[in-house]
Chains A and B, each alone.
Chain A
Amino acid sequence: MPCRYTQATLMQTAQARQFEQSTLKKYLLDHAYDEMFAGPQKLRPHYELLFKHFSSLPADELQRRKQAADLSFLNQGITFTVYGRDEGAENIFPYDLIPRIVTAAEWAKVEKGLTQRITALNLFLKDIYNEGRILDDGIVPREVVYSCRHYRRQMMGLQVPRNVYIAICGTDLIRLENGEFVVLEDNLRVPSGVSYMLTNRRVMKRIFPQLFRGYNVRPIEQYTQLLLGALRSLAPEGRPEANIVLLSPGVFNSAYYEHAYLARQMGIELVEGRDLVTHDNVVYMRTTSGLRRVDVIYRRVDDDFIDPMAFRGDSILGVAGLFNAYRAGNVTLANAFGTGVADDKALYAYVPEIIRYYLSEEPVLNNVETFLLTDPKVRQHVLQNLDKLVVKAVVESGGYGMLIGPQSTAAQREEFARKIEADPRNYIAQPTISFSRAPCLIEDELEPRHVDLRPYVLYGDKVTIVPGGLTRVALRSGSLVVNSSQGGGSKDTWVLSQ
C-alpha cells in the first residue's frame, strides 16, 4: 500500500529529527539486546508512542515529574533501608520513570513457560519429600538434593494441602542477546518486591496518565485479591471461614513496608512471632478479645527462623511449636517448609530435566547454561576461564557472593578459585550474559541500562500470573547487578493486551 509507505517514510524522517534533538546523545547500543531500539535510529514499534511522548515533553518536564514521583514515594513511606532512629537512614526505593514495555506475544510465552515451570517444580518437591521417584530414576542425583542447605528432613512424608508447596514464587527472567527470555533464577522461599510492582504502577498512572491511556496496558492491581484467593484455597479442611494472617519478622525487616502493604491490601492481620502462641498443636493469635485461632499463615520469615523448636534454636522471630501444628494439619503455611531445595542454584541446572520428567514436555523457557563444579572436568574448565564466567554461591541471593569474571580483578578470581576448590558444591558458574537493556532516565538524558524481569506466580487451586512483574534495573552504567542492595532500582512493566 503506497499510501502507508509514504506515511511511514515521513514518520521515519520526523523520527530522525527527533533523535537528533532529543536526549539520546548518550544512548549507545552495544551487543546486548535493546528493549527500545532494533538498530541505530530504528525504534521497535511498541516503543514508538512512548518515544514520541517523551520527545514532545518540554526539557524540564521530565525532571518535574520525576520530583513529583519522588515526593509521592517518600510520603508514602516506600523505603527499603533497614530502619533506625536516625532520620538519615531511610531512602526511597530507587526507581526509574521510563516504563518497560512487553508485547502480548512475548508475554504469552513467558506466562506459558512460568506455569509449566512452577507446576513441575511443585511436583518435584512433592516427590522428593515423599516417594523420591525422580531420585530412584537417577534424573536428579540424590547428593544434590540432600546436600542442599534448604533441604528439610522434617518435611519427609508430610501431606501439604492440595499438594501445593509453592504458593507464591518470583522467577527472575533475563533476555539474551537474541531477545529470548530465559530463566536466571527461581525464588521459591519468600520472594519479595511485589509491592514495588504495585506501587510503581500506581505512581506511573498518576505521573503519565496520557501515555498510559495511549497504550493498552493489562492491569495488575488484582494481584492482592488473587493472592488472598490462593491462600484461602489452601486452608486446612473443615475451616470454611479461614483466618489468614501474614507473618512478618517485624518492623526492622527491610521488606516490612511490603508486608504491611500486602496485609492491608488483602485485609488480613499482619502478625509477628510474638503475636502467635501454640497450644495443643493449634496456633492462636493474641487479640484484645482473647485468643483467636489461625488457619493459614502467609509467612515472610525464612524456614530457619520460624520455629525455634524445629529449626534454629536461637531465633526470636518465630513461634515455638508452629512446625508441630503444621505437621498436625491444623495450620497451613505458604510457602511450605523446604521449598528452598528447588531454588538451589545447583539444582537449577536440573530443572529442564525435571520439567521433561514430570510433564513429558519440552521447557518453554530455557535455562542459562550452568556449570556444576562438582564434576572435576567441568571444574577445571571453569577455573581456567574464570575471567569470562560468572560464579555464584548456591545459597546466596541479593547479588552477594558473586564473581563477575570480566569485571573482576586477578585477586578476586584467585580468591574465588580457592573457594571453589575448597567447596565445589557451594558454587556454580554461568557464562557472562549481557542481559537486555532498556532506556532509563539518568539525570536529563535517556541512557540504556541492564534490566531483568521478575513476574510473580501464584499457585492455589490453579496457577495465576498477573501480566507484568518487577523490572529491576542496574542503575549504575555497565553494571549487571540489579539487586536493590547493590545499587539497583526498578521500573514499571507494561504488558500490552494485543
Chain B
Amino acid sequence: MLSRVADSLYWMSRYLERAEHTARLLDVNLNLMLDEGPESAERRWLRVLQALGKPKGIAWEGDPYTLTQTLIFDREHKSSILSCMISARENSRHVREQISTEQWHRLNSMYLQVTRPELKNRDRAGVAANDTMQSSDFLQSVMESVHQFQGVTDSTMNHGEGWQFIQVGRYIERAYATTLLLEAYHEDLWTRHEHATEGNEFLEWMGLLRSATAFEAYCKVYTADLTPDRIFEFLLLDEEFPHSVRFSIDSLQCALERIEGDGGRSRGEGLRKLSGRLQASLSYSSAEEILTQDAVAYLRGIQEQCMTIHETIYALYMDYAIQAALAG
C-alpha cells in the first residue's frame, strides 16, 4: 500500500473518531447542564475543554452556547466538529479509489449534510437561541453518521492493510481521548468529592459514562450503582468494552501486528515493543494500584506512549528515508 494512502486512511479515521467523541461529549454536557444552576456551568465547561485536550484558541467566556457553537461549527478551529468532518472527507478524497463506493457515499453525504448552508444557519440559530433540542439533533446525527460509516467500512471494505490503518487511527485516537476524559474528571471529581453537589453526584458520574457510551455497558456489569473507582476501572481496564482504554490498545496492537504481518518483515520490532509494553501494562494493572498511586501520571503516561507510537508508525511506514529503504 502506498505510504500516502496509509497516511490518509489513518487520519480520515482519527478525524471521524474525534468528531464523534466531541459530539458525544457536548451532547451529554448540554443535556446535564439543564439539571443544574448556572453557577456550576463554568466548572462543567472548563472540564469539557480539558477533556478535549484544551483546544488551541478556544476559551470559556461565560456562555455555554457560544462555546458549543464554536466547538461544533467554527471552521477556524481545527478541533471543531465541522473541521474534523471536513478534514476526514478531505483525506478520504485523496484516497477515493482505496475506499469502497459505499464508504465514499456515506462520508460524502455526511459531509454534504453538515456543510449544507441552510442547515448550518438553522443550527447556528438553534444553538444561539438556546435551543438544546436542535443542536442535540445535530450532534446525534453526527454520531449516527460516524457509526454508519464504521458499519459500512467493516462490511464493504477489504479487511486488508488499509482497513487495519483505519483501525489504528480510530483506536489510537480513542485511547488518547478516553485518557484525557478520565484525567479531566479525575482532577475535578475524584480528588474533590465535595465538588459534586449533593444529589448531582449520580448525574456527574452518569455523564462521564455516557461521554464514553459506557453507561449501559457499565450497568450490565456493575448495575446502576455508580462508584467512582469502578467507573475508573471500567473505562480504563475493561477487557470487553469497546471504548475502554484497554480495549482500544488491544485493538491497536492487533491492527499493528496485522500490518507488520502483511509487510512480511521484522523491521517493526521497535514498534511492537512499544505497543506491547503499553498493552501489558493495561492488561496486568489493577485499578486500586493505579488509584492509590498517581492516577493522573499514569494517564499521562499512556498519552505519551500513544504519541510515541504515532511517531514510530510514521518513521516506519510513511516517512522513511529512501536510501535506507533501497539498502534494506
A289 cross-chain contacts in B, Cβ below 8 A: 1, 262-265
Taken together as a complex, chains A and B put the C-alpha atoms of A161 and B326 apart, in Å, by 27
Closest to A245 in B: B2
CB distance from B158 to the nearest CB of A (A): 11
Contact status B2-A286, CB under 8 Å: yes
Contact flag A288-B101 (CB < 8 Å), given A260-B96, A269-B2:
no
What 0/1 readout, one digit per residue, does chain B (84-125) give for beta carbons within 8 Å of chain A? 001000000110111001001100110010011100000000
A83 cross-chain contacts in B, Cβ below 8 A: 93
CB distance from A290 to the nearest CB of B (A): 5
Taken together as a complex, chains A and B put the C-alpha atoms of A490 and B94 apart, in Å, by 26
Contact status B108-A287, CB under 8 Å: no
Contact status B161-A290, CB under 8 Å: no
B317 cross-chain contacts in A, Cβ below 8 A: 288
Contact flag A277-B3 (CB < 8 Å), given A288-B259, A288-B263:
no
What 0/1 readout, one digit per residue, does chain A (403-415) give for beta carbons within 8 Å of chain B? 0000000000000
Contact of A87 among B6, B117, B263 (CB under 8 A): B117
Identify 6 new A-B residue pairs, CB closer than 8 A, beyond the known A75-B112, A76-B108, A290-B320: A76-B101, A77-B104, A264-B97, A279-B326, A288-B161, A288-B263
B34 cross-chain contacts in A, Cβ below 8 A: none
The A235-262 residues at the B interface (CB cut-off 8 A) are 251, 256-257, 259-261
Asked if A272 CB lies within 8 Å of chain B CBs, one says yes
Cross-chain pairs A/B with CB under 8 angstroms, 17 sampled: A76-B105, A76-B108, A77-B104, A264-B97, A274-B4, A275-B2, A277-B322, A285-B2, A286-B322, A287-B3, A288-B318, A289-B1, A289-B262, A290-B265, A290-B328, A291-B325, A291-B326
B96 cross-chain contacts in A, Cβ below 8 A: 77, 256-257, 260-261, 264, 270
Contact status B325-A288, CB under 8 Å: no
The A76-124 residues at the B interface (CB cut-off 8 A) are 76-77, 83, 85, 87-88
A256 cross-chain contacts in B, Cβ below 8 A: 96
Overall SS of chain B's interface: helix
Contact status B97-A270, CB under 8 Å: yes
Contact status B322-A251, CB under 8 Å: no
Asked if A263 CB lies within 8 Å of chain B CBs, one says yes
Contact status B2-A287, CB under 8 Å: yes
Taken together as a complex, chains A and B put the C-alpha atoms of A261 and B98 apart, in Å, by 10
CB distance from B266 to the nearest CB of A (A): 12
CB distance from A265 to the nearest CB of B (A): 8
**Interface size classification for chain A:** 20 to 34
Contact status A261-B97, CB under 8 Å: yes
B98 cross-chain contacts in A, Cβ below 8 A: 264, 270
Taken together as a complex, chains A and B put the C-alpha atoms of A261 and B328 apart, in Å, by 34
Closest to A266 in B: B97
Taken together as a complex, chains A and B put the C-alpha atoms of A263 and B6 apart, in Å, by 17
Closest to B75 in A: A85
What 0/1 readout, one digit per residue, does chain A (438-476) give for beta carbons within 8 Å of chain B? 000000000000000000000000000000000000000
Closest to B4 in A: A275
Closest to B328 in A: A290
Closest to B116 in A: A87
Asked if A391 CB lies within 8 Å of chain B CBs, one says no
What 0/1 readout, one digit per residue, does chain B (240-279) give for beta carbons within 8 Å of chain A? 0000000000000000000100111100000000000000
Closest to A290 in B: B325
Closest to B322 in A: A277
Contact status B3-A288, CB under 8 Å: yes
Taken together as a complex, chains A and B put the C-alpha atoms of A261 and B320 apart, in Å, by 29
Closest to A269 in B: B2
Contact status A251-B4, CB under 8 Å: no
Taken together as a complex, chains A and B put the C-alpha atoms of A287 and B259 apart, in Å, by 12
Contact status B328-A77, CB under 8 Å: no
- Which 6 residue pairs spanning A and B have beta carbons closest together? A264-B97, A260-B96, A289-B263, A288-B317, A87-B115, A260-B97
Contact status B109-A75, CB under 8 Å: yes
Taken together as a complex, chains A and B put the C-alpha atoms of A291 and B109 apart, in Å, by 36
What 0/1 readout, one digit per residue, does chain B (1-32) give for beta carbons within 8 Å of chain A? 11110100000000000000000000000000
Contact of B4 among A85, A261, A286, A291 (CB under 8 A): A286
The A268-327 residues at the B interface (CB cut-off 8 A) are 269-272, 274-275, 277, 279, 285-291
B101 cross-chain contacts in A, Cβ below 8 A: 76
Contact flag A275-B109 (CB < 8 Å), given A76-B101, A77-B104:
no
Asked if A49 CB lies within 8 Å of chain B CBs, one says no
Closest to B114 in A: A87
Contact flag A275-B97 (CB < 8 Å), given A75-B108, A76-B105, A290-B325:
no
Closest to A265 in B: B97
A290 cross-chain contacts in B, Cβ below 8 A: 263, 265, 320, 325, 328
Contact of B112 among A74, A264, A275 (CB under 8 A): A74
Taken together as a complex, chains A and B put the C-alpha atoms of A287 and B317 apart, in Å, by 7
A259 cross-chain contacts in B, Cβ below 8 A: 97
Contact of A291 among B105, B161, B322 (CB under 8 A): B322
Taken together as a complex, chains A and B put the C-alpha atoms of A289 and B262 apart, in Å, by 8
A291 cross-chain contacts in B, Cβ below 8 A: 322, 325-326
CB distance from A202 to the nearest CB of B (A): 11
Contact status B115-A275, CB under 8 Å: no
Contact status B263-A272, CB under 8 Å: no
A272 cross-chain contacts in B, Cβ below 8 A: 4
B265 cross-chain contacts in A, Cβ below 8 A: 289-290
Taken together as a complex, chains A and B put the C-alpha atoms of A76 and B102 apart, in Å, by 9
Closest to A76 in B: B105
CB distance from A85 to the nearest CB of B (A): 7
Taken together as a complex, chains A and B put the C-alpha atoms of A290 and B263 apart, in Å, by 9
Contact status A286-B93, CB under 8 Å: no
* Most central of A260, A263, A271, A290 by chain B CB within 10 Å: A290
B3 cross-chain contacts in A, Cβ below 8 A: 275, 286-288
Contact of A288 among B1, B93, B104, B326 (CB under 8 A): B1
CB distance from A262 to the nearest CB of B (A): 8
CB distance from A471 to the nearest CB of B (A): 25
A279 cross-chain contacts in B, Cβ below 8 A: 322, 326
Contact flag A287-B1 (CB < 8 Å), given A85-B86, A260-B97:
yes
B1 cross-chain contacts in A, Cβ below 8 A: 287-289
B328 cross-chain contacts in A, Cβ below 8 A: 290
Taken together as a complex, chains A and B put the C-alpha atoms of A101 and B75 apart, in Å, by 48
The A47-78 residues at the B interface (CB cut-off 8 A) are 74-77
Contact flag A271-B2 (CB < 8 Å), given A263-B97, A279-B326, A288-B161:
yes
Taken together as a complex, chains A and B put the C-alpha atoms of A290 and B326 apart, in Å, by 8
Contact status A75-B97, CB under 8 Å: no
CB distance from A116 to the nearest CB of B (A): 35
CB distance from B231 to the nearest CB of A (A): 38
CB distance from B238 to the nearest CB of A (A): 31
Contact flag A251-B93 (CB < 8 Å), given A271-B2, A291-B326:
yes
* Most central of B97, B117, B326 by chain A CB within 10 Å: B97
A286 cross-chain contacts in B, Cβ below 8 A: 2-4, 322, 325
Taken together as a complex, chains A and B put the C-alpha atoms of A75 and B112 apart, in Å, by 9
